Chains A and B, each alone.
Chain A
Amino acid sequence: MNRRVSLPPWVGRLLACLGGSVVLAMMVGKQQGSKDDYGLAFREAVLNPRIFYFLLVGVLVFLGITYQDVVRRYAGRPGVRPLLAGVLILLASYFLMKWYDPLGDGKLATFGAAVTSTPAVAPVARIFFGWLWWVGLLVTAAATAAAIVWRLRWLAWASAAVSVLVGAIAVAAHSLAVSFAGGIDHSFGAQTALIGNLVLAGAGVVAAMSRVETARTREFVERVMAFRPGLPLVAMGVVLGVLALVAATWFDPGGKNLTLVDTQHLFAGSALSGVASAYLAWLGYAVFAVVVVLAATAVWTAQKTLGYVAAGGAVVAILVTLATLHDISATATKAGYPGSAGEWQNLGTGGWVLCIALFSAGAGGLIAARRAPVIAPEPALARGSGALGRLHQVGTSTTLLSLTLFGVGLALFYPPTATAFWQQALVTDIGVYVLLAIGLNVVIGWAGLLDLGYIAFYALGSYTTAYFTGSLPVQPPIHLSPLWAIPVAIAVCLIAGVVLGGPTLRLRGDYLAIVTLGFGEIIRIIAVNNPGDFTNGPRGVARAVPHPVIDLGFIRFEWGGSQLQYWYLLLVLLALVFLLFWRLEGSRLGRAWAAVREDEVAAQATGVNTTRVKLLAFAIGASTSGLAGVFFASQVGYFNPQNFILNNSILVVAFVVFGGMGSLTGAIAGAAVLTWLPDFLRDQVPSEDRIMWIGAVLIVMMIFRPAGLIPARRRKAELTGLAGHDPSVDQDLRAVPAGEGV
């Protein structure tokens, strides 16, 4: 009597895939219609023949899902993952990256059209930009795929060789074309294409060399890392260092792009200090060689002392390099060399890349020293801090530690080479929000309290700074420099956190979220309403908040000259906060937070004062936000209540969730990626569409990797199912979560 018409399941799947293609087609390109034709963009997306490309993608996805048994059998083969990665990198380099800055949008298509229509350019460049870029991609990708499927070793080797060749041609063609065209070019398209081709070649080599049926990527990586811990870092250092010493620009007054040798010639006979001129002539090569040899030996022989010596040598080498860089720019400016703009100006990428290389090599030595085999006592009862060690050991495998250290090297020495736009973005968007995310991670990730009014503490910190530096209409009893305002702002936010948390923390989950949301809005509206002429209302602060100053009498340093100075101040703050919170996570308070988050009733019954613990999380998170507020206020000078809208609170929550709740490195990575993305997309998609793409990234991320970019060990265990490891455990008999009765 109840007859249901049921279609075969593949019909729904096909429709879903095709529907997805149409959505994707509409996302790529402008979304807006024109004034008198609202449906313009829609028709362009859907009725244009290009829709067939998207439908084809949909059909491919459909086939992949429907025949996933077959696909999966081949997808597990060695070499498939690097193949996909290589193709993706190449596609990104061809369609996303810039190839030549001065020309229009600078993409490959534009630049390539210009190159091929200019007969005077070297033939290599014309061939590459004419057809080789896409033919090379198709041929190598198809050949590698065929080699993987049919296990043709000779084909795998051949396609690997071709890939390397195409990559080399890409770089050569690009540099030929650019040197023909002139103009200042900082694009990375060609380099990315080289990397993509090398990854493709790697796929070929893996396919040719491997004898197993299924790839074990993680095991492979771990084995490589465990072979000689620190070796990848040292290798990276060697490659970057050689590039820096041989090819990179060290000094470019007026776009001259002088390499290290050229720079030496330029400064021959100048008033350059002894160390610097020696550095340009031979010392630079010497210190690099010494550091690399030391680090490599330490890594190879796994000697503790040697590793530390290598790290120390790297530090000295970096200091000498920095001194030389300073000397170059200062001397050139003093001598009035045309184009010199002052100390630390006009420096090319060379010096900074060499610093990254030295740092990387030194970090390799450090890892070798730390991971050097020691005759360890039985970890169980012998070592006191076993649990603490374990928590952080799991979090910091050698792979992750290497990546982190390399990231630190980049954070230290990459920003000086970045454009002014990216330096600005690094400080105002990325850096501040990383700090905020670290703080909110304490509240959401560790203690499990959903705080939607987090930005209010940021506002409190900013306004406290503005008040104590005399930038508000009401003058303070004592004027403080922004650096002295830090403890005051932290104290204010601590108190505000306790005042807000005291009555509200007995609420749970959703209710707490609503209360904090209300609190955030109250703070913002108070700032707008300007009670007692305190906040100066929606116009923002009355006078600019001064820049921080360090004045010790004999030495005086004032921030504000460039964004870089703020970046390094921020790095110091970040490192400090990271270190303190890292210790906190492994302490008894960190465990108490985890206990409260997991099961509040059980935590109480175990004697944890849950109110106090939650209050501490709230206050510590709030004070971090306050610290970020001080930094923000003194960095931007002028700010207004618009900077503290609800949207920003939600963004910080998104950063924490995206990065991996409860994971410090995750919070940093999440905030960095999600704040970097809008600025990156600025050049890639119409600016109105940026947020849509970020939304898409979030959705995909939450579906396929719900634990976040870098999941916390404790959180990961929650999500992946606990009894899953042991089949003897009955799922129903697991410990119940909080709120399901005592």
Chain B
Amino acid sequence: MTQATTTADPDDLIFDVQDVTLRFGGVTSLQNVSLQMRRGEILAVIGPNGAGKTSLFNSLTGVYTPQEGQILLRARPGDQPVSVLGQKTHVVNHLGVARTFQNIRLFPALTALENVKVGVETRQKSGPVSAMLGLPWQRREERESTSQAYALLDRVGLAGRANELAGSLPYGEQRRLEIARALGTDPGVILLDEPAAGTNPAEKQELAALIKQVNHDGVGVLLIEHDMKLVMSVADRIVVLNFGSRIAEGTPEQIQRDPAVVAAYLGTSEEEAVAELDTHDQPELHVIDTSGGVTGAGSAGGPATGEEQA
């Protein structure tokens, strides 16, 4: 809990993922994936469609239980490492892992404020009896959760929308509301699954600022994103997945220069990718159409089927 612990242990890892393999029947969605997420960093996971990014997220949050490997979690400074495998989703959340979804999953018939309050209130204690009787501590908790939720909405820039139904908010605001709800659970690390999907350039800029701000406030950010511009601008490190395996890891500059990554995105062999890298001084991954090329192969179809089983 103390700052001393953090500084005393520079290799304090939030996630320590060792050789995780996740299969759905005969389809292997993740193959011996290892990654380390350090405290205080923004780590991005990229890869073509069907590479297993969301499967990785679901494994980290307890939705899926990988057959092999080990995932150790130490969400908040000073925590003992806990294995995520086999834990229920809400338990993993209580351990300090919050997440958003690729396709927004708010509670659309609740107001924006209520959405965030649901998150905040999972950390509260009062039960049904005290709620029915309106006991003092329940009222106090109610007030606390409301003011915390307002503060969070303010933080993501939705304070003026507090009493609107979540489902009636514009798309970009729904994305931010989902982040606010996730932050409401007071996480040590937040997993963002394609937070920029479907947002316009202006919203992307706001989002990048928000992600940096959240990270600055001491919450680790694990990010899945297709928008390379956003990834390159916010991420401290990047892990690249393809066909369920980790093919590269490094700083944004390293990743941009990695032939294997370029090959995966172009759907070509590494030699051609090297040639491509030679012709351009500054290859720009973000201009490559990430939604097209590499999804056609049978092995890429596998993880997608797996995801639908959820």
Segment with Cβ contacts to B, from A122-130, A173-181, A604-612, A664-672: A604-612
A718 at the interface (CB under 8 A from B): yes
In the complex, A607 Cα to B89 Cα: how many Å? 7
List, in ascending order, chain A residues with CB within 8 A of B90's CB. Answer: 604-605, 607-610
Quick check: A598 and B54 within 8 Å, CB to CB?
no
Most buried by B among A583, A598, A620, A742: A742
Instruction: Say yes or no: A390 contacts B111, CB within 8 Å.
Output: yes
In this assembly, does B176 line the interface, its C-beta being within 8 Å of a C-beta of chain A? no
Q: In whole angstroms, how far apart are the Cα atoms of A486 and B122 in the complex?
A: 32
Q: How far is the CB of B17 from chain A (nearest CB, A)?
A: 19
Could you tell me if B142 and A587 are in contact, using CB atoms closer than 8 angstroms? yes
Q: Name which residue of chain A comes closest to B94, CB basis.
A: A607
B108 with A595: CB separation less than 8 A: no
Please, how many angstroms separate the alpha-carbon atoms of A549 and B254 in the complex? 83
Using A620-B128, A733-B198 as known contacts, say yes or no to A728 and B170 having CB atoms under 8 A apart: yes
A609 to B163, CA, bound (A): 25
Stretch at the interface among B30-38, B96-104, B235-243, B261-269: B96-104
| Interface residue total, chain B, C-beta cutoff 8 A | 67
A590 to B145 alpha-carbon distance, docked (Å): 14
* A588-B126, A605-B61 known; A714+B93 contact, CB < 8 A: no
Docked-complex contact A588 and B58, CB < 8 angstroms:
no
Scan residues 566-598 of chain A and give those whose CB is less than 8 A from a CB of chain B. Answer: 580-581, 583-584, 587-592, 594-595, 598
| Distance to closest chain B CB from A474 (angstroms) | 32
Q: Is A142 interfacial (CB 8 A cutoff)?
A: no
With a cutoff of 8 Å between Cβ atoms, the chain A residues found around residue B114 in the complex are: 387, 391, 591, 594
Q: Which residue of B lies closest to A619 (CB)?
A: B128
Verify if A385 is at the interface (C-beta below 8 Å from B): yes
Known: A386-B146, A388-B142. A735 touches B307 (CB 8 A): no
- Are the CB atoms of A602 and B109 closer together than 8 Å? no
Q: Does B141 interact with chain A (Cβ within 8 Å)?
A: yes
Interface residue? B157 (CB, 8 A): no
Decide: B159 and A380 in contact? CB cutoff 8 A: yes
The reply to whether A741 and B109 contact each other, CB–CB distance below 8 Å, is no
Contacting residues, chain B, for A740 (C-beta < 8 A): 103
A601 at the binding interface (Cβ < 8 Å)? yes
Separation of A386 and B162 alpha carbons in the complex (Å): 10
Determine if B171 is an interface residue (Cβ-Cβ < 8 Å).
yes
- Give chain B nearest CB distance to A604 CB in angstroms: 4
Q: How close is A357's CB to chain B, nearest CB, in angstroms?
A: 33
Interface residues of A in 495-515 (CB under 8 A from B): none
B169 → A minimal CB distance (Å): 8
Once bound together, how far apart are the Cα atoms of A718 and B63, in whole Å? 26
Q: Chain A residues with Cβ under 8 A from B98's Cβ?
A: 605-607
Complex contact B108–A722 (CB within 8 A): yes
CB of A211 within 8 A of chain B?
A: no
A557 to B178, CA, bound (A): 57
Chain A residue nearest in CB terms to B113: A387
Q: Which residue of B lies closest to A714 (CB)?
A: B109
| B225 is an interface residue with CB less than 8 A from chain A | no
Q: Which of B113, B134, B310 contacts A742 (CB 8 A)?
A: B310
B308 — nearest CB in chain A belongs to which residue? A741
Which of chain B's residues have a CB closer than 8 A to the CB of A286?
A: none
Tell yes or no: A555 within 8 A of B by CB. no
Asked whether A730 is an interface residue with its Cβ less than 8 Å from the other chain, the reply is yes
Does B56 sit at the interface, judged by CB under 8 A? Answer: no
Q: Which residues of B from 274 to 291 have beta carbons under 8 Å from A?
A: none
Contact of A690 with B by CB under 8 A? no
Which residues of the partner chain B approach A726 to less than 8 Å between Cβ atoms? Answer: 168-170
- Cβ of B182 within 8 Å of any chain A Cβ, yes or no, is yes
With A384-B142, A591-B110, A591-B117: A735-B185 Cβ-Cβ less than 8 Å: no
Residues of A within 8 A of B107 (CB): 594-595, 598-599, 602-603
Q: Smallest Cβ distance from B25 to chain A, in angstroms?
A: 17
Chain A contact residues (Cβ within 8 angstroms of B): what range?
35 or more
Q: Report how many A-B pairs have Cβ atoms within 8 Å.
A: 190
User: Which A residues between 708 and 727 are near B, CB-CB below 8 angstroms?
Assistant: 714-715, 717-718, 722-726
A588:B174 contact, CB within 8 angstroms = no
The one of A380, A381, A385 in contact with B142, judged by C-beta atoms closer than 8 angstroms, is A385
A724 to B149 alpha-carbon distance, docked (Å): 26
- Whether B27 sits at the interface, judged by CB under 8 Å, is no
**Neighbouring B residues of A603 by C-beta, 8 Å:** 107, 118
**Is A35's beta carbon under 8 Å from chain B?**
no
Which residues of chain A from 380 to 419 have any CB-CB distance to chain B below 8 Å in the complex? 380-381, 384-388, 390-391
Would A742 and B101 count as touching, CB distance under 8 A?
yes
- Please report the C-alpha to C-alpha distance between residue A391 and residue B162 in the assembled complex, in whole angstroms: 13
Q: Which residues of B contact A602 (CB under 8 A)?
A: 101, 105-107
Tell me if B230 is interfacial: C-beta within 8 Å of chain A. no
B171 to chain A, nearest CB (A): 5
Nearest Cβ in chain B — how far from A673, in angstroms?
Answer: 25
CB of A736 within 8 Å of the partner chain = yes
CA distance A380 to B147 in the complex (A): 9
For the complex, what is the distance from the CA of A730 to the CA of B124, rounded to whole Å? 36
CB distance from B193 to the nearest CB of A (A): 9
Interface 1/0 per residue, B127-159 and A, CB below 8 Å: 110011110001101110111011000000001
| Residues on the A chain within 8 Å of B142, using CB | 384-385, 388, 587-588
**Which single residue of chain A is at the shortest CB-CB distance from B107?**
A598
Residues in A neighbouring B126, C-beta threshold 8 A: 587-588
A607 and B75 CA atoms in complex are apart in Å by 15
In this complex, what residue of A is CB-closest to B115?
A: A595
CA distance A554 to B138 in the complex (A): 38
A606, B119: Cβ atoms under 8 Å?
Answer: yes
Known interface pairs A384-B147, A620-B128; A722-B123 also in contact (CB < 8 Å): no
- Whether B110 and A386, one on each chain, are in contact in the complex, defined by CB atoms closer than 8 angstroms, is no
- Which of A390, A598, A604, A606 sits near B182, CB closer than 8 Å? A606
The yes or no answer to B181 lying at the interface (CB within 8 A) is: yes
Asked, given contacts A606-B93, A717-B167, whether A591 binds B121 with beta carbons under 8 Å apart, the answer is yes
CB-defined contacts of A728 to chain B, threshold 8 Å:
170
* Cα-based distance from A394 to B63 in the complex (angstroms): 37
Of the candidates A715, A722, A740, the one having the most CB atoms from chain B within 10 angstroms of its own CB is: A722
Answer whether residue B248 sits at the interface, using C-beta atoms and an 8 A cutoff.
Answer: no
Contact B122 A606 (CB under 8 A): yes
In the assembled complex, A146 has its CB within 8 A of some CB on chain B: no
The answer to whether A387 and B105 touch (CB under 8 A), given A583-B132, A589-B128, A610-B90, is no
Complex CA–CA separation, A484 to B167 (angstroms): 47
Q: Closest residue of chain A to B95, judged by CB?
A: A607
B165: Cβ under 8 A from any A Cβ:
yes
Query: Contact string, A346-376, partner B, CB cutoff 8 A, digits 1/0?
Result: 0000000000000000000000000000000
CB pair B174 A606 closer than 8 Å: no
- Interface check A294, CB cutoff 8 A: no
Interfacial chain B residues near A723, Cβ < 8 Å: 167-168
9 of the cross-chain contacts (CB-CB < 8 Å) are A384-B146, A386-B113, A386-B162, A584-B131, A594-B107, A605-B90, A606-B93, A607-B90, A723-B167
Known: A598-B109, A603-B118, A605-B105. 5 other contacts (CB 8 A): A385-B146, A602-B101, A606-B184, A718-B109, A735-B108
List the 3 closest A-B pairs by CB distance, nearest first: A722-B167, A384-B143, A587-B131
